[in-house]
Amino acid sequence: MKKIAVMTSGGDSPGMNAGIRSVVRTGLANDIEVYGIEQGFKGLIEGQIRKLNSRDVSNTIQRGGTFLRSARCMEFKTEAGQKKALDNLESFGIEGLIVIGGDGSLTGAKILYEKYGVKVVGMPGSIDNDIYGTSISIGVDTALNNIARAVDMINETASSHDRTFIIEVMGRHCGYLALMSAIACGAEAVIIPEIEYNLENIIDKIKQRYVEGKSRSVVIVAEGAGSAVDFGKAFQLIGGFDTRITVLGHLQRGGSPTVFDRTLATRMGAAAVDGLLAGHGGVMTALAGREISLIDLDVVLSNKRELDTKFMEIAEDLSL
Ligand code: F6P
């Protein structure tokens, strides 16, 4: 294999730049030309492809976002879009492709492999941590740290006014960010889509905590469980609390990646190139225990990542 390409696709996640850098430099160390595809599958269809050298990835490991940029691409879902993508890979002589992204992007990678025989290795990049087969995806740790910083700050102002804050965090359909940040920040309650909840019970519990002397309450809501605005109205109306809401939004996805995300992405980038060189395709890099391994995309995409409900027990037990 002499030419490979790398792209970032779907929602960006902190650590993607570290992943690209690792792919480029591991490739160069193995005498391979590495191409960067701009804007994910959109750029692949449009032929936005350029050769990357070592200097192109200088000073990128500490930067959030993705310098190759990213996009969510509908055209790739069509046969015509897929054919254009394939033509561009062929005209650049690209023999192996590395796709960094979430479920949708990995599905695109699987299509290229299964339908068209392109050797593709995926790398899980999504703050949601909803990708099966890897204990954690690139960007999750940074997003959690971003959330924790924000909640810690909110806690201070909330305590000064005995207020109840409803804080909405990202995660699409997955409650992982909400649950782990609730544990990390000592939230009074957490509401996630995976676990049934009773609003009145939560409100009663919070009332009781105020009676016992708590000076504030923080409730973390996963966006997939509903909107903080609606929950806020209910808490105000039913509980009678002095309620404020904060939607953390995209600030969770930005910022310099943590050391964990930089090293995770770096290790996965190296493993992805090694995987291509060893002849693998249709696989994804995964963190299993302390090791980076390769797992079939088929397995990744036909399974749902389950949330460990033990964490919910911990969050509840510790919110006393
Ligand atoms: O998948 C990552 C994610 O940040 C989700 O948590 C969120 O629901 C979604 O992307 C937001 O997408 P966009 O940036 O396209 O608004």
What is the position in ligand 1's atom list of the atom closest to the CA of 252? 4
Q: What is the pTM of this model?
A: 0.97
Residue 274 annotated to the active site: no
Residue type, 182: A
Q: What is the pLDDT of residue 320?
A: 74
Q: Tell me, what's the ipTM? A: 0.98
Q: What is the pLDDT of residue 309?
A: 87
Give per-residue pLDDT as tens, 66-85. Answer: 999 999 999 999 999 999 99
Find the residues whose C-beta lies inside 6 A of ligand 1. Answer: 11, 102, 126-128, 170-172, 223, 253
Identify whether 312 is part of a domain. Answer: no
236 and 292, same domain (yes or no): no
Domain count within the chain:
2
Give per-residue pLDDT as tens, 6-59. Answer: 999 999 999 999 999 999 999 999 999 999 999 999 999 999 999 999 999 999
130 and 274, same domain (yes or no): yes
19 and 88, same domain (yes or no): yes
213 and 261, same domain (yes or no): no
Identify whether 25 is part of a domain. Answer: yes
Identify whether 73 is part of a domain. Answer: yes
38 and 124, same domain (yes or no): yes
Q: Report the nearest-CA residue for atom 6 of ligand 1.
A: 171
Q: Report the nearest-CA residue for atom 9 of ligand 1.
A: 172
Query: And the tokens for 119?
Result: 């050797």
Q: What is the pLDDT of residue 80?
A: 98
Angstrom CA distances, 207 to 20, 216, 230, 239, stand at 49, 10, 19, 7
Q: Report the alpha-carbon distance of residue 64 to residue 58 in Å, rounded.
A: 14
Identify whether 190 is part of a domain. Answer: yes
104 and 18, same domain (yes or no): yes
Residues of the chain with pLDDT under 50: none
β-pairing, 243-247 vs 283-288, is unpaired
**Which CATH number does the domain housing residue 10 bear?**
3.40.50.450
7 and 133, same domain (yes or no): yes
Q: Report the nearest-CA residue for atom 8 of ligand 1.
A: 172
34 and 166, same domain (yes or no): no
CA angle 239, 240, 243 (to 5 degrees): 95
7 and 116, same domain (yes or no): yes
41 and 135, same domain (yes or no): yes
140 is in an annotated binding site: no
Domain of residue 167: give its range: 143-254
Identify whether 232 is part of a domain. Answer: yes
Judge contact between 3 and 32, C-beta under 8 A.
yes
Q: What is the pLDDT of residue 75?
A: 97
**Which CATH number does the domain housing residue 151 bear?**
3.40.50.460
